[in-house]
A and B are shown apart, each in its own frame.
Chain A
Amino acid sequence: MADTIKLEISRYSPETDAAPHFQSFEVPFRRDWVVLDALNYIKDKQDGSLTYRWSCRMGICGSCGMLVNGEPKLTCATFLADYAPASIRVEPLRNFPIVRDLVIAMNDFMRKFQKMKPWLIRKEEKPVSEGEYLQTPEQLDAYKQFSMCINCMLCYAACPVYGLDPLFAGPAAIALAQRYNLDSRDQGAKDRFPVLSQHDAIWGCTFVGECTRVCPKHVDPAGAIQQYKLTAALDWVKSVVMPWGGK
């Protein structure tokens, strides 16, 4: 196998470029290198102006998401060897405004995320001195999967609905709302309902399912959304059949 590999990297500087363009780099090919190692090599040895985010290098901080050959990936968990000897195309995540080179703006997600009230809501707080809220392993299991989201934004890059309709709340934000709704300690489902049941939230999703396919942490946001649709629909039925009850 060749001892170098070519990377075609999308470059964009708002100060000089009108639009992104590709630039090629040649880096040593090593079996145990991930795409991020190649980017670091370029930055250290060839072009210090190459701009991208990264931190943990172990797939947990969620900052290194990019498109690798068009597919949303954590670049710290994507091996060069899976693509060699062909060249590899690296681009910023799709569906987001590009700030510079491989860096996207995710302010939009942060805003939508906060609207979901992603924190534990209690009618009455129990004092810490009284100990923990009990939660069996089964109850933990009910929401655990949705709590694994690292906010890497791969699902947003994969979801065509988000690309077409920037108002759409998107997979991760909804999955994280579900994470709290399904937590046996939480009593805030009613507070989250008005936001979640918007057209721009759950009803905007057409179950493309790409979000789940690309999610590196097996969060299954598509499942979370469909499950919430079912909950919301049943709630609706209840409110029609028994308009006097609940609410």
Chain B
Amino acid sequence: MDVTTHDVLLVGGGGAGLRAAIAVSELNPNLKIAVVSKVYPMRSHTVSAEGGAAGVIKSDDSLDEHAYDTISGGDWLCDQDAVEAFVNEAPQELLQLEHWGCPWSRQDDGHIAVRPFGGMKKMRTWFAADKTGFHMLHTLFQTTMKYNSIFRYDEWFVTKLLVDDGRVQGVVAIELMSGKIQAITAKSVILCAGGCGRVFPFTTNASIKTGDGMGLAYRAGAPLKDMEFIQYHPTGLPFTGILITEAARAEGGYLVNKDGYRYLQDYNLGTPTAKPVLRSMELGPRDRLSQAFVKEQEKGRTIDGPYGPVVHLDLRHLGEKLINAKLPFVRELCTKYQNVDPVHELIPVRPVIHYMMGGVSTDINGATPLPGLFAAGEVACVSINGANRLGSNSLPELLVFGARAGKAAAEFASSAKPISNSILAQAFDEQRRIENQFLRNTTGRERTSTIREEMQQTMETSAGIYRTESSLAAGAKTLRHLQERSDNLALDDHSLTFNTDLVAALELSFMLDVAESMVQSALQRTESRGAHQRTDFPKRNDEKFLAHSVVFRAADGRPRVEYLPVRITRWPPGERVYGQPAQKASAS
């Protein structure tokens, strides 16, 4: 078996991974860096982010306000020291990206322009039209090209973390082009493998978002944190799940039900005004808006579409000029994929799985409890997002914690002991497992896609916007069963060249692990907070649950949940208030 060796290895070439890679090479140009990614880095899912990235830059704004919005938006489940570090460093990181060439949208005088965003009290969201993630990712990727110390493994799929001597020392990966399985060793490994929206049937997430990174860490013994907090975005296109960015509402779009009524006013989100008001109505937080949709549906006030109930997003009053200038991609997506032109027509939308608040548990520098393993980006839970992430906080999170993890991993690598020799034996075992379980297995019965669909259905019914004891318990049982069935997969493809059938099977097994950890964490949190809403426990319970859940993988493969305290610095838990009252409270 081939073995290649580096100092710092990144699993993932999205926003977080590339930022971390640059951080390592700027800190110490002598370190050999490897970026392993199952797709070419510029295809990573960061490319899809539309709306923007939050960072305090205008003089009427302050770091404390950004921190407060984030913490209250996260229903006080955020670690406040992490949030403080985050809001502090976000502006510098966004400026750094500007210096690398990111085409941020500008004011007439040449300064950075900002736009309002859901749950944010001030305008602080930087944007590059409505392709913010695309421009950020391409800027980062093109910038990495100038560093000679960064070596890329494009289209390599990581299947396992190599752990020996109590620390992570590399990975086993398959080169898709040739089918070669090999060990890539490193003194420290940073997971930047993104989220796992694909465990649900209806999601804005790309096909590559299958929770591989979470699964890798979980199996290697690192715990996952706050996995029950799953964000629904209130405005996805039916069927495709394509996201209509929050920026559409920030620019003044209305959400209306079948009577053309702006129903959010019935759900404690303020009173309707013609112009958008920050932290009010359509600019409330995502969890509240998605929950309001379900209530409307129960009242029979949604519209029945071919793919289930929808409400309408109305942009018509904004006019063609503004839509073309600020929301061109929204118009393109609607006309291309939904056959409606938002300039003249209503856009049908429904809540759609969008983002994972939870992830691999890390400290403020991206270090996981497992030595040598770091994590950053959507795969990680630092946590700044608490029970509900605010729109436009994720992109700056990639940068801030990508850079932090990069620095920490570089330092770790500089002082780490050499790689153990016994690593190779583990890699051989992994190769044998893949060959025997998948490539040479001729007795399998189950289809990957069937189990995947059943898993997705199970997740939607058991762990959707509203959950109960019984739905979750049933879900947990089904998932256990699916785990067993997945040991018996039959691949159609037994070849080595670009075997996407094999990739799908490996992804499925990661997703099943992640799904189980979600359902288990949700089952045990008997309260409602942020995106986690239990109809049988509708109140927030700070006494018992002002705590992070951490899931470990027990020896039998089942999830085991423990709790960690939330770190509170300056903002004691309060009530989340949106709409006009919030405006007044903050003004005083």
Contact = CB atoms under 8 A, between A and B. Distances in A.
Given a CB threshold of 8 Å, the question of whether A touches B is answered with: yes
Give the interface SS of chain B, mostly helix, strand, loop or mixed. Answer: loop
A134 B47 CA distance: 25
A99 B108 contact: no
Given A119-B143, A128-B95, A48 B497 contact: no
Contacts of A77: 336-337
Chain B interface extent, by class:
35 or more
B207 A55 contact: yes
Contacts of B100: 119-120
A208 to B, nearest CB: 26
B333 A144 contact: no
Contacts of A148: 131
Contacts of A32: 239-240, 339
A140 to B, nearest CB: 6
Contacts of A21: none
Contact of A54 (B47, B104, B207): B207
A49 interface: yes
Interface of A: 13-16, 32, 43-45, 47-49, 51-63, 77, 99-101, 103, 105-106, 110, 113-114, 117-120, 125-126, 128-129, 131-137, 139-140, 143-144, 147-148, 150-151, 176, 180, 183, 185-186
Contacts of A137: 105-108
B498 A103 contact: yes
B47 A60 contact: yes
Interface stretch (B109-117, B553-561, B570-578): B109-117
B42 interface: yes
B240 A57 contact: yes
A49 B495 contact: yes
Contacts of B364: none
Given A15-B495, A15-B497, A119-B146, A43 B449 contact: yes
Nearest to B491: A48
A234 B457 CA distance: 63
Contacts of A135: 106, 110
Give the interface SS of chain A, mostly helix, strand, loop or mixed. Answer: loop
Interface in B347-366: none
A135 B449 CA distance: 49
Contacts of B110: 134-136, 139
B133 to A, nearest CB: 8
A99 B177 contact: yes
Contacts of B48: 56, 58, 60-61
B109 A61 contact: no
A215 B43 CA distance: 17
In the A-B complex, the 9 residue pairs with the closest CB atoms: A48-B492, A134-B110, A49-B493, A120-B101, A44-B449, A55-B206, A48-B501, A118-B142, A61-B43
Contacts of A43: 449, 500-501
